[in-house]
Every structure is written in structure tokens, then in C-alpha cells.
């Protein structure tokens, strides 16, 4: 057998439209995450900082055999929009421009990263939001749209998208939900078909949350939509169908940043070594506006579902009942204003090993929520735009790397392990470019090597 025969063969490269012209990044919400993202990109563009945490900007991708030593940067390997071609817009019920919102969020150092780009940030003023306090109890908004029903609100959002594109002379758009977490909801009859959804919008049905209006508007405008919060939004039969029918990429839910990212690294390690787990207690203190919104039990419930789901999927208690059949998993978020955006996440993990002897692991992650989330927003904007140019549509499971509760096709289950997700992401990039998949088999270096 030759080396070539051991390789997993791929088809040719996928046709990908070039990333010519400008890409409009439309953010729902102009709070801590959005402003940290926008200000970060502008600082990077001006050569004042590095895009740390962004795979699209900093990671390399290995191609071919290890002996070939080919490892270009992802952004040099596949045609992504250039940072200089990004143009930003946002909606928010709070009328603060991006500079004021960033100062209030208190994430970035004012003198080092905000003052030098003050004019740029001040020029980004939020468009009136499709907002309803019923869905985010702790917020009051004045910068809001008015209409006789939800369908008209959605039409106004569509008009915002078209107007932004025209005004700025943009080639393409993407929408990323970076707005507050809405109250807990489950899919109902209004979410099963386009006709039912449109009727429900006209009747101002309570099962249509604002986030769904943005998603509907984007899909109707053929714009990719990524959801950074745990709301259902595009995780509904109607949206999946609409995205498939209109050939638009969608994905979510909930950016995978601090505590959950650590969970999706540690839990697979326990399972890989067949170590048992009896309990995992996670608590967080944070004091930003997100923390305040999540202090409302209804919004917290949405977040809790998103944070709880992954352990069960990673550990597969049905396959390993002796190891993971009785895990007590608890997640708490406590609003504690003195901490601002600098969250602290504690994990107490009770594991057990050989013959059932117990052990404990403690994790204390003093992280910065929006510093972890901003590069995710950047990568999602660039990769969703890539997906659209490559003709990929519907759920983009290859981007589950970025989400706490990734969307997946019917009949599957979510893949939560960070390193499987990373392999999936990089193999999708290789596949798009007609490069060999990397299986890590590597037997050809030994069995078939020329001695």
C-alpha cells in the first residue's frame, strides 16, 4: 500500500466566491460583548493590539503529512473577509453610541483602547431595537421600534438591513445576536412552519420573541445569522426550514467562553481516562449588565439549560452507567456588581478512580467575559460569511466549536468536546479547499515507511 492510499480522499475544492468588497457585520445588542468586539477590531486594524483568541486571525492549519511541514495561517489558506473590509452596525434599546456603551461596560481600558478610537466608536449609533420588556425583564429601553404588529417590526428590521447595505456600499452582510438573554421558551405550534410563524407575528403571539424577528428578517434577506445567546432564536423548525429553503447559513446557541469552555475540555479528559464523576458544582459571580439580566429567574433558566446540557452529551451515561449514571450537576450565576465584567467562575468537581476512590478538583477561573467572547464574534462573522460564499446552508455544525449548546441536524446529537469540535472545524476548512482530511492515524510513518 502506498502513502497515497492510506490518505482519506476528498473531492476537489469547493467553489467559494471571493471575499471581494465590504462585509457588513450587524450586531443585535450594543453592550459589553459587541463594543469589546468592535473596539478590538478597530485597535487591531490600527496596529495597536493583537487579535488574541481568534482562530481566523492567529491559528495555523496543518496540511498534508507531518513531514511536509505545511502549516499556513487559516486566513492565508482560505478566502476570509479582511478586517479592513468590516463595517459595523447595531441595534439596541439603549441609545448609547458604541463609545459611551463601551465606557459603561468597563471592559477595555479607556485610555489605551477607547480614547484613541473615540470618533470611530461615537459614529456607531444603535438603530432602534425590536424590543419588548416581557422577554428581558431587567431592561428598560427607549430606543425602540413601534409597529402595529410583530410582522411589521420584522419588516422594519429588513429595511434596516437593506438600508445599511446600500448606505455603506456593502457587498455582503452577516448578523450576530449579542443581545441580552431572553426568558425561557420552548418551541410551540407557531414555530413549526413559515405560515404559522407569519400568522403568529401578525397576531402578536407571545411565543414570538424579538430575537426571532431579527432571525426571520435576516433569513428573508438571505443574510447568515449566528446566535450568541441561549435563546431559541434560530433553533426552531421554522428557522431551520427557512434557512434550508433560502440557502442561508445559521447557527447557535450561546458563545462558549469561560466556565463552559473549561467544562468541555475537562469532561472529555475524564471520559477519555474512564474516570468516574459523581458531582459538578459550578457557580459564577459577575456584575455586568448580562449578570443583571441573568439575575431574573426566567432569563437564568434559559442560560441554565444551555450550561447544563453538555455534561450529559459528553459523558454518555447510557453507555457508562457505572461512571456517569449518577452525576449531580448544578450551575449557579450570582449577580455581584463589584466585579463588573470580570467574572469569577468556581467549579468543584467530584471524580472517582480505581476501585471507586474519590478525588476532587477545584477550578477558579478569574476571567473576563467579554474578552473571551469578542474573538468568537469575529470568527463567527468571518466563518458565517465564508459559509455563505461557499454555498453552505442551514445549520453550520462545523462551527459548534464556538457554542455552548450547538445546533445539530435532526437525528444527531450535539458534539461538545472542544477538541473534536476543533478537528471538525479544521477538517471542514480542509474539505472546502480540497485538501486531505487529517485523521491522525499516522501509521504510514511506521508500517509503510521505506526502511
Ligand X SMILES: NC(=O)c1ccc[n+]([C@@H]2O[C@H](COP(=O)([O-])OP(=O)(O)OC[C@H]3O[C@@H](n4cnc5c(N)ncnc54)[C@H](O)[C@@H]3O)[C@@H](O)[C@H]2O)c1
Which residues here bind ligand X, judged by CB under 6 A? Answer: 28-33, 91-94, 105, 129-131, 136, 139, 178-181, 210, 228-229, 254-255, 257-258, 288-290, 293, 369-370, 372-373
Closer to ligand X by CB, 210 or 394: give it. 210
Closer to ligand X by CB, 75 or 150: give it. 150
Q: In angstroms, give the least distance from the CB of 428 to ligand X.
A: 23
Q: In angstroms, give the least distance from the CB of 177 to ligand X.
A: 8
Chain position whose Cβ is nearest to ligand X: 31
Closer to ligand X by CB, 333 or 351: give it. 333
Q: In angstroms, give the least distance from the CB of 178 to ligand X.
A: 5
Please state, as a whole number, how many other Cβ atoms lie within 10 Å of the Cβ of residue 134: 12
Closer to ligand X by CB, 33 or 388: give it. 33
Closer to ligand X by CB, 179 or 215: give it. 179
Measured CA to CA, the distance from residue 387 to residue 396 in angstroms comes to 8
Closer to ligand X by CB, 23 or 94: give it. 94
Closer to ligand X by CB, 29 or 309: give it. 29
Q: In angstroms, give the least distance from the CB of 96 to ligand X.
A: 8
Q: In angstroms, give the least distance from the CB of 20 to ligand X.
A: 30
Amino acid at each position: 500500500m502506498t502513502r497515497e492510499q492510506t490518505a482519506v480522499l476528498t473531492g476537489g475544492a469547493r467553489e467559494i466566491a471571493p471575499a471581494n468588497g465590504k462585509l457588513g457585520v450587524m450586531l443585535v445588542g450594543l453592550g459589553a460583548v459587541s463594543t469589546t468586539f468592535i473596539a478590538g477590531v478597530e485597535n487591531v486594524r490600527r496596529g495597536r493590539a493583537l487579535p488574541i483568541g481568534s482562530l481566523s486571525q492567529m491559528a495555523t492549519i496543518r496540511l498534508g503529512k507531518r513531514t511536509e511541514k505545511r502549516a499556513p495561517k487559516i486566513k492565508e489558506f482560505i478566502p476570509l473577509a479582511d478586517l479592513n473590509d468590516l463595517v459595523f452596525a447595531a441595534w439596541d434599546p439603549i441609545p448609547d453610541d458604541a463609545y459611551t456603551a463601551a465606557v459603561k461596560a468597563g471592559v477595555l481600558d479607556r485610555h489605551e483602547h477607547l480614547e484613541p478610537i473615540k470618533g470611530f466608536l461615537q459614529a456607531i449609533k444603535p438603530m432602534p431595537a425590536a424590543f419588548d420588556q416581557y422577554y428581558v425583564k431587567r431592561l428598560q429601553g427607549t430606543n425602540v421600534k413601534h409597529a402595529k404588529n410583530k410582522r411589521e417590526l420584522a419588516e422594519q428590521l429588513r429595511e434596516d438591513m437593506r438600508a445599511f447595505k446600500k448606505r455603506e456600499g456593502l457587498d455582503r452582510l452577516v448578523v450576530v445576536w449579542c443581545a441580552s438573554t431572553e426568558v425561557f421558551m420552548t418551541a410551540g405550534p407557531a414555530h413549526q412552519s413559515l405560515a404559522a410563524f407569519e400568522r403568529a407575528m401578525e397576531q402578536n403571539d407571545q411565543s414570538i420573541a424579538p430575537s426571532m424577528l431579527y432571525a426571520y428578517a435576516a433569513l428573508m434577506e438571505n443574510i447568515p445569522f449566528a446566535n450568541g445567546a441561549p435563546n431559541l432564536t434560530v433553533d426552531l423548525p421554522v428557522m431551520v426550514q427557512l434557512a434550508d429553503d433560502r440557502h442561508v447559513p445559521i447557527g447557535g446557541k450561546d458563545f462558549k467562553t469561560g466556565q463552559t469552555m473549561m467544562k468541555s475540555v475537562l469532561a472529555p479528559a475524564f471520559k477519555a481516562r474512564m474516570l468516574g464523576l459523581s458531582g459538578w458544582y459550578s457557580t459564577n459571580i459577575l456584575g455586568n449588565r448580562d449578570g443583571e439580566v441573568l439575575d431574573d429567574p426566567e432569563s437564568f433558566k434559559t442560560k441554565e439549560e444551555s450550561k447544563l446540557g453538555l455534561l450529559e452529551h459528553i459523558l454518555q451515561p447510557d453507555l457508562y452507567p457505572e461512571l456517569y449514571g449518577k452525576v449531580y450537576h448544578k450551575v449557579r450565576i450570582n449577580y455581584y456588581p463589584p466585579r463588573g465584567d470580570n467574572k469569577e467562575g468556581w467549579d468543584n468537581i467530584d471524580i472517582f478512580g480505581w476501585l471507586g476512590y474519590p478525588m476532587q478538583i477545584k477550578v477558579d477561573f478569574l476571567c473576563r467575559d467579554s474578552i473571551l467572547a469578542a474573538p468568537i464574534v469575529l470568527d463567527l462573522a468571518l466563518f458565517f460569511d465564508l459559509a455563505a460564499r461557499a454555498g453552505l446552508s442551514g445549520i453550520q455544525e462545523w462551527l459548534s466549536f464556538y457554542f455552548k449548546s450547538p445546533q445539530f441536524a435532526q437525528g444527531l446529537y450535539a458534539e461538545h468536546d472542544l477538541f473534536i469540535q476543533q478537528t471538525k472545524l479544521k477538517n471542514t476548512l480542509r474539505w472546502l479547499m480540497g485538501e486531505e482530511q487529517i485523521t491522525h492515524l499516522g501509521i504510514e510513518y511506521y508500517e509503510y515507511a521505506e526502511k
